[in-house]
Amino acid sequence: MENIVLRVKNIDVYYKDLQALWNVSLELKEGKIVSIIGSNGSGKSTLLNAVTGLLPLTGGTIELFGERIDGLAPHEIVSRGISLVPEGRRVFPRLTIYENLIIGSYPLKSRSSKNQSIDKLYQLFPILKMRQDQMARFLSGGEQQILAIGRALMSKPKLILCDEISLGLAPLIIKEIYNQLRHINQEGTSIVLVEQDIKRSLKIASQAYILVGGRVGLEGDPTFFTEDEVRKAYFGI
């Protein structure tokens, strides 16, 4: 029987007085990839912010391997095994690649093995090793995205949340990043992938959720989705 890594159950989330998520539920099985797609303002990033403790719940629960994590501080959630690759990459521009990576290993459980983790990352992403002493602000958008993924992996997470990783990148770079995500997943890390790129994200996932106006409009195995179902859930037509 497959373990459930992440279980989000009937959560409601507000931004001050504005409700952003209504009764949203999802599950991610161990070693799998879940894709969450939807238009701008559909609640995708809000959902990730709720999972990582950046936004409080007003209803529902969030569990990691059967233990509740809603209500924990973000740094505690990271220590439990969740890392976020944020939208816009958010690398530290005036720090070197190496320094950016080291920051990702701040949880106590990953500090002692940070050198081994960096060596492994350098094998996965050789460009990071080649330019490890260069400041991050001199990297291209695609290279900064690779750095953001590498930084997230430095905490040795069981689950990584990727928020719009293809945003603003060239198609060839996106293809390479998706290939690396598959490799990371095959190594045992579960992935939640938030994207606007419908076809690419559905192709890589074993389970998908389409958010519409802060609610789940369609869910299931994406190989069984029809174009009409996706269009209706995504655009409402």
- pLDDT given at position 201: 86
Residue type, 184: I
Q: At what angle do helices 114-124 and 171-186 cross, to 10 degrees?
A: 130
Report if residue 200 sits inside a domain: yes
Min mean pLDDT across 9-23, 32-46, 154-168, 223-237 is at 223-237
Residue 39: pLDDT over 90: no
Distance, CA of 54 to CA of 46 (rounded, Å): 9
Distance, CA of 118 to CA of 159 (rounded, Å): 18
As a whole number, mean pLDDT of residues 138-161 equals 89
Residue 233: pLDDT over 80: no
Alpha helices in the chain (DSSP H): 44-51, 74-80, 97-103, 108-111, 114-124, 126-130, 141-153, 171-186, 198-204, 227-235
Report if residue 128 sits inside a domain: no
Report if residue 85 sits inside a domain: yes
Distance, CA of 77 to CA of 74 (rounded, Å): 5
Whether pTM exceeds 0.85? yes
Asked if 96 and 134 touch (Cβ cutoff 8 Å), the reply is: yes
Report if residue 124 sits inside a domain: no
Query: Which CATH number belongs to the domain containing residue 17 in this structure?
Result: 3.40.50.300
As a whole number, mean pLDDT of residues 80-101 equals 87
Distance, CA of 101 to CA of 87 (rounded, Å): 17
- pLDDT given at position 120: 83
Report if residue 216 sits inside a domain: yes
Report if residue 142 sits inside a domain: no
The percent of residues in the chain predicted with pLDDT above 90, rounded, is 38
As a whole number, mean pLDDT of residues 70-98 equals 88
Residue 108: pLDDT over 70: no
Containing structural domain, residue 50? 4-89+161-235
Report if residue 13 sits inside a domain: yes
C-alpha distances (whole Å) from 180 to each of 56, 174, 176 are 32, 10, 6
- pLDDT given at position 110: 59
Cα angle at 137 between 131 and 140, to 5 degrees?
Answer: 70
Residue type, 149: I
Per the structure, how many domains does the chain have? 1
Report if residue 223 sits inside a domain: yes
